[in-house]
Amino acid sequence: MIKSIQIGIISVLTFLTVQLASAQTVEQLNDKFRQLSDEILPTANVYRTASGAPGHKYWQQQVDYNIDVTLDDEKQRIIGTARVKYYNASPDSLRYLWVQLDQNRFAHNSGERKSAFASEKPKASYTALRQAIHEKSYDGGYKISAVTDSGGADLSYIINDTMMRIDLASPLRPGQQMDFVIDWSYNILDARKIRARGGKEYFKDDGNYIYEIAQWFPRMAAYSDYDGWTNKQFLRNGEFTLEFGDYDVAITVPADHIVSATGLLQNPDEVLTEIQKQRLKEAETAKTPVMIVTTDEAAAKLDKRAKTTRTWRFRAVNVRDFAFASSRKFLWDARGYYQPENGKTVMAMSFYPEEGNPLWEKYSTQSIIHTLEVYNRYSFVYPYPVAQSVNGPVGGMEYPMITFNGPRPTKDEVTGEKTYSHRTKYGLISVIIHEIGHIYFPMVVNSDERQWTWMDEGLNTFLQGLAEEEWEKDYPTRRAEPYQIVDYMKSTRQVPIMTNSESILQFGNNAYGKPAIALRILRESIMGRELFDFAFREYAKRWKFKRPTPADFFRTMEDASGVDLDWFWRGWFYTTQNVDISLDNVRLFNINSRDPEVEEAFKRAKHKEKGVSPDRLADKKLKKRTDRFPELLDFYNKNDKFTVTNKQRNKYADLLDGLEDWQKELLSDKSNIYLMDFTNRGGLVMPIFLQVSYEDGSSEDIRLTAEIWRKNSEKVTRMLITDKIVKSVTVDPYWETADVNMDNNHFPRRIEKSRFDLFKTKKPRDMMKEFESKLKDDKITLDKKKKSR
């Protein structure tokens, strides 16, 4: 019995293996144009259509928050109470709710710490090692003091690393609402020591702090039709995925602090001075930014730190998160941006310490408004009343209506003079464009950052490039030109764009650069601007305030443009192949006229082209026997094998008799027929762009679509019929495709100029001379040096 059962199982397994293997034939797998919907994209349903739009039963949860938070400037702590209203709009009954506890990433023994790995090389940067050491003493993570229902009764919960499950006494049915309250606190981390998206920065010159407070309250995890509850822990890179809702937040800070936050300030009369309110009013219609808090006004507060507190109240409608910044060091400038598209004015505002000038007062608010102008055109009209840029310890991070941007000039320690590098200047403008751009993607187009970094970083970097190009002539844009991604595309240490955020190698190139440039190539060289821009806007509009997945993007771009792009998504997003199209040969043909007089003469001429070695050539001059005995010559000495015979002439006449007039005409056509042979060495199928130069000095651009590879993705031949004579052919003459090897793009091949490096051979060490060399600083004694070992 047992034996026979075992045999049974084995045969079932064998059968399954055979079935799986034959599900796709080798020929099908080689077809780079096969449709993604057949095998990779999820099946369309009532929530998400096959066209890439939200389905007729699309739903998403809504979560409203009413939060009281205190920023303790003495102990640098956050203490808060959140009253959460969770609306279950899903068709499912929920037995528990999951909450994201992002601060727990910084707790001892967090999942991130427990999964941290080191480089195998025994070295680290100073900042990396300082972080590793500081993390051991920083007491991070949420201290949750109570989770209760609206009546004050304790709710049972369990914390699993950066997630918390709240168990419900009875299931939350579709359409029902659940109210609960969480009390918590945490120690604000030192964002100069630990790289994070929020934290404090201490200024030792005046003893004050700037606080950038983000991911600071227990936020409801996303529950979606495609993933259920988010169950990816926060390990650093996969930022977050959240629900939309309305926020009322009361922020209590030292009375002399200025607060910038997601949302509209509700109580200006309680927290702003008359003059500040007047200036704000003036800023609404001003032509250039107006200072709301000046350098002198901020400086006056630095040593007399307020002992009392003040509460700033903000309200934000339909946002997926809430962040704020607070400091007595803040200067504040503002200018209204009137959006002609909807007749509303957005207040663009910047908050920065004196240390940020002269860069910040000149560029920050201008960069915000510039971003709105450009992004509104390519996506949708900015939907919120304020857009803010704050300078503090965070290098660059976005939240709804508020962004944190790091670059600052450098101050000379001795002279106090402030200067900035080219990189700092453009880094600041670029990071503000980038982070304000993120308010569109993913703060409004709510893609799932915990899974797909490219969906917000890639799309946003693409638009950032367009905005930078409209800032000034020759703006140093880093991720826009196809050639800028070539080194990455050639590299071996990479994974496809469609890789989970936490597993990405070469993060910046993979999730920012490659998708941004892929979209640029689609727009400029594959779809054309008109079709691309319409489709991209359609995606943005369909999914604004909703939750798109990669499939929704891929499908919408095709659906709205009528261009099948499955080959493009497959190659660029699901593989690490690159573009390397080689033009191997260009062959010239003329039509075989079949006329023996013409064709035999042609063969004779070709035959004569055949080379002979110099010695054999000399042999030809030797005296021959037939010179002495001419009677040995006959018919074959007067005719070579190319002599035309009557039989051939008759055959030709017969051939002509059997042809129609148009066929005869073609036989005498004098066109030059060129066959151009291409091989695909990089693997990615791409359009072939050609520039053909002719002997008469003219040239012609020929643009072939990627579908030329549809029957054979490795080799393809293209015919060119012309009256002219081709001198040379170049593939991708305008560097549009990120071709990783331009050496094989020319026919005939060209010799490229380059540089040959010389180097000096190292001299052996002269220890005796080193020993005798003079000490630079006499304070370093030999004794001390010994001790330090």
Which residues here bind Zn ion, judged by CB under 5 A?
457
Shortest separation between residue 436's beta carbon and Zn ion, angstroms: 11
Tell me which residue has tokens 């003459």: 733
349: which strand partners?
Answer: 334, 388
- Output 454 or 567, the one with its CB closest to Zn ion: 454
Peptide bond into 476 cis (omega under 30): no
Nearer to Zn ion, 185 or 464 (CB): 464
Q: Of 235 and 439, which has the nearer Cβ to Zn ion?
A: 439
Least distance between Zn ion and beta carbon 396 (Å): 7
Using an 8 Å Cβ cutoff, are 468 and 475 in contact? Answer: yes
In the complex, minimum distance from the CB of residue 434 to Zn ion, in angstroms, rounded to a whole number: 6
| Cα–Cα distance, 744 to 266 (Å, whole number) | 64
Do residues 467 and 367 make contact, with C-beta atoms less than 8 angstroms apart? no
Give whichever of 201 and 457 is closer to Zn ion, judged by the CB atom: 457
Instruction: Pick between residue 443 and residue 720 the one whose CB is nearest to Zn ion.
Output: 443
Q: What would the 3-class secondary structure string for 203-264 be? A: ECCCCEEEEEECCCCCEECCEECCCEECCCCCCCCCCCCCCEEEEEEEEEEECCCEEEECCE
Shortest separation between residue 702's beta carbon and Zn ion, angstroms: 39
Instruction: Please identify, using beta-carbon distances, which residue of 240 and 709 lies nearer to Zn ion.
Output: 240
Least separation in angstroms between CB 448 and Zn ion: 15
Find the shortest distance in angstroms from Cβ 540 to Zn ion: 17
Burial classification of residue 370, based on how many CB atoms lie within 10 Å of its CB (0-12 exposed, 13-18 middle, 19 or more buried) = buried
Question: 3-state class of 151 per DSSP?
Answer: coil
Q: Which residues contact 390 (CB under 8 A, 6 or more apart)?
A: 212, 260, 325, 350, 351, 352, 402, 403, 404, 405
User: Which residues, in sequence order, are CB contacts of 189 under 8 Å at separation 6+?
Assistant: 106, 138, 140, 196, 198, 199, 200
Q: Which of 686, 682, 678 is nearest to 707 (CA)?
A: 686
Smallest gap from residue 461 Cβ to Zn ion (A): 7
Residue of minimal CB distance from Zn ion?
A: 457
Tokens of 644: 């035309």
Cβ atoms within 10 Å, residue 133: 10
Which among 495, 465, 470, 458 is positioned nearest to 480, based on CA atoms?
Answer: 465
Q: Return the exposure string of 636-653: e unless at least 16 CB atoms fall within 10 Å of the residue's CB, then b.
A: eeeeeeeebeeebeeebe
Closest to Zn ion by CB, 336 or 458: 458
**Per DSSP, which regions of 451-500 are E strands?**
none
CB-nearer residue toward Zn ion: 439 or 738: 439
Q: Which two tokens stand for residue 133?
A: 């050491």
Residue whose token pair is 């979209």: 519
Q: Minimum distance from CB of 457 to Zn ion (Å)?
A: 5
CB of 454 to Zn ion, least distance (A): 11
Min CB(472)–Zn ion separation in Å: 22
Rounded Cα–Cα distance for residues 594 and 699 (Å): 32
Please choose, from the candidates 644, 545, 526, the residue with its C-alpha nearest in 3D space to the C-alpha of residue 593.
644
Nearer Cβ to Zn ion, position 383 or 458?
458
* Nearest distance in Å: CB 465, Zn ion: 13
Nearest approach, Cβ of residue 784 and Zn ion (Å)? 47
Q: In this complex, which beta carbon is closest to Zn ion, that of residue 457 or of residue 552?
A: 457
Nearer to Zn ion, 361 or 457 (CB): 457
Residue whose CB is less far from Zn ion, 457 or 732 = 457
Smallest distance, Zn ion to C-beta of residue 48, A: 25
Cα–Cα distance, 347 to 731 (Å, whole number): 49
Q: Cα(360)–Cα(354) distance, rounded to whole angstroms?
A: 9
The DSSP 8-state label assigned to residue 150 in this structure reads: T
Shorter beta-carbon distance to Zn ion: residue 333 or 457: 457
